[in-house]
């Protein structure tokens, strides 16, 4: 077995290629309202299919010309191709064409609203005295940040101009892996160690400011910047995301089935392999490749079935390997045992909230326990307990 490498450099980053032309798209919804669109409605590229009730989560739009085949709470399914007329002789129904929205000269609040309606989530662009552009590849095995910085500088700079309007920072820092020649207009460049986990936002901020705190800093990834840049260039809704698949970087339409993307990249997973949306250390494994690509996805990783020893439910043997690799300097072994035995208060006492969820503890675990899973469970339970407590207090008043 070859040991995985944690280098964040790919060595060679090919050009960003166009993704597959899907015959059907499944646009994932994240709390979006499904009242916006009906079944069988014709849609154009850029037609609004679902609005989000929040003020900062982007709306969902159709990436293709087609007809809405199904609407569920989780996804909107659109089949490609022009709509068929209901009766013979009638003209086929069509959706109105989508006009570009001018973004120049808008005030901060108007720009925020405009971006949300164009499908860009603006929650991460809070006002701050420092804006850091995270130009490191998010995880080992991904190389889109590198590819975008090398090849799509103009788009990134347009995106950066819009983000700067929202964040209003006096200074902008671009964090790049050591040895990279990438620059962006108006950015100070900071070179970081190109070894995972240095690409995690808290660690990037620490390397830039020297402080272990995210207060007063807004971090934007190059991938998000590229999305905003595309919107700025076209004035049309954001319906694409850039994915690393194998050794390729693909510009994929949101909702494209994972199977199509894998086929385009020439990656063929066998049954029982793991197909992971995201990188190998933090990504989410999916059971089926029918699901659509979501906005903000940055990688599709295939892990062969027998490549690594499987996770077990064995007891922690207290070897301390997780402690040695933890960038948050917490004791994952102790915390996960507390969570395992439902001692959530003890887990809190041992600073479970400081975990950055980098996945290295589970990677190094001799007993092969699902450490990150336990930590996420603990965090979620503590959050639920806290919200239940708040609800009780409000009732008592």
CB of 93 to another protein, least distance (A): 32
Tell me which stretch binds another protein (CB under 8 A): 34-42, 151-159, 223-231, 301-309.
301-309
Measured CA to CA, the distance from residue 294 to residue 307 in angstroms comes to 27
Tell me which stretch binds another protein (CB under 8 A): 30-38, 50-58, 71-79, 280-288.
280-288
Task: Calculate the alpha carbon distances from 45 to 24, 61, 69, 252, 368 in Å.
Answer: 13, 8, 15, 14, 46
Record the tokens describing residue 102, joined without a space: 């001018």
Tell me which stretch binds another protein (CB under 8 A): 229-237, 241-249, 348-356, 383-391.
348-356
Measured CA to CA, the distance from residue 146 to residue 176 in angstroms comes to 9
Paired sense of beta strands 240-245 and 217-221, if any: unpaired
Among positions 284, 392, 394, 397, the unique one binding another protein when judged by CB under 8 A: 284
Nearer to another protein, 236 or 367 (CB): 367
Tell which positions 211-270 bind another protein, by CB under 8 A. 212-213, 269
Residue whose token pair is 């207060």 = 215
Tell me which stretch binds another protein (CB under 8 A): 21-29, 71-79, 291-299, 370-378.
370-378
Measured CA to CA, the distance from residue 240 to residue 119 in angstroms comes to 10
Q: Contact 78/49 with Cβ under 8 angstroms?
A: yes
Number of residues that bind another protein (CB under 8 A): 63
Residue 283 binds to another protein (criterion: CB under 8 A): yes
Measured CA to CA, the distance from residue 263 to residue 86 in angstroms comes to 35
Q: Contact 124/163 with Cβ under 8 angstroms?
A: no
Among positions 25, 155, 372, 378, the unique one binding another protein when judged by CB under 8 A: 372
Measured CA to CA, the distance from residue 17 to residue 230 in angstroms comes to 15
Among positions 18, 126, 315, 386, the unique one binding another protein when judged by CB under 8 A: 315
Tell which positions 325-344 bind another protein, by CB under 8 A. 327-331, 333-334
Q: Is 99 helix (H, G, I), strand (E, B) or coil?
A: coil
Positions in the binding site for another protein (CB under 8 A): 1, 3-4, 202, 212-213, 269, 271-276, 278, 280-290, 301, 303, 305, 308-309, 311, 314-321, 323-324, 327-331, 333-334, 351, 354, 356, 359-360, 362-368, 370, 372-373
């Amino acid at each position: 077995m070859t040991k995985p490498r944690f280098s964040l450099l790919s060595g060679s980053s090919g050009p960003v290629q166009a993704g597959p032309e899907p015959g059907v798209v499944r646009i994932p919804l994240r709390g979006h309202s499904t009242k916006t669109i009906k079944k069988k409605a014709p849609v154009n590229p850029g037609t609004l299919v679902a609005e989000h009730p929040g003020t900062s989560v982007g709306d969902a739009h159709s990436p293709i010309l087609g007809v809405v085949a199904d609407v569920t709470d989780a996804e909107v399914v659109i089949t490609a191709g022009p709509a068929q007329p209901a009766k013979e002789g009638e003209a086929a129904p069509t959706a109105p064409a989508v006009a570009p929205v001018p973004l120049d000269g808008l005030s901060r609040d108007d720009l925020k609203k405009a971006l949300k309606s164009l499908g860009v989530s603006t929650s991460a662009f809070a006002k701050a005295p420092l804006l850091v552009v995270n130009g490191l590849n998010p995880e080992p095995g991904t190389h889109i940040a590198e590819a975008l910085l090398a090849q799509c500088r103009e788009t990134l700079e347009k995106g950066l101009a819009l983000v700067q309007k929202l964040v209003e920072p006096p200074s902008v820092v671009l964090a790049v892996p050591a040895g990279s020649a990438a620059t962006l207009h108006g950015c100070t460049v900071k070179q970081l160690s190109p070894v995972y986990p240095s690409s995690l936002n808290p660690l990037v901020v620490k390397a830039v400011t020297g402080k272990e705190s995210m207060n007063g800093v807004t971090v934007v990834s190059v991938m998000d910047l590229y999305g905003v840049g595309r919107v700025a260039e076209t004035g049309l809704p954001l319906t694409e995301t850039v994915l690393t698949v194998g050794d390729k970087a693909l510009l994929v339409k949101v909702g494209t089935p994972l199977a199509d993307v894998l086929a385009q990249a020439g990656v063929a997973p066998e049954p029982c392999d793991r197909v992971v949306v995201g990188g190998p250390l933090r990504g989410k494994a999916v059971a089926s490749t029918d699901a659509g690509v979501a906005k903000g996805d940055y990688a599709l990783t295939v892990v062969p079935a027998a490549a690594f020893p499987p996770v077990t439910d064995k007891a922690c043997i207290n070897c301390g390997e997780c402690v040695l690799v933890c960038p948050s300097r917490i004791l994952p072994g102790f915390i996960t045992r507390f969570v395992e035995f439902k001692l959530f208060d003890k887990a809190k006492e041992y600073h479970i909230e400081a975990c950055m969820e980098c996945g290295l503890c589970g990677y190094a675990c001799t007993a092969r326990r699902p450490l990150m899973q336990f930590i996420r469970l603990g965090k979620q339970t503590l959050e639920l307990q806290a919200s239940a407590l708040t609800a009780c207090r409000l009732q008592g008043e």
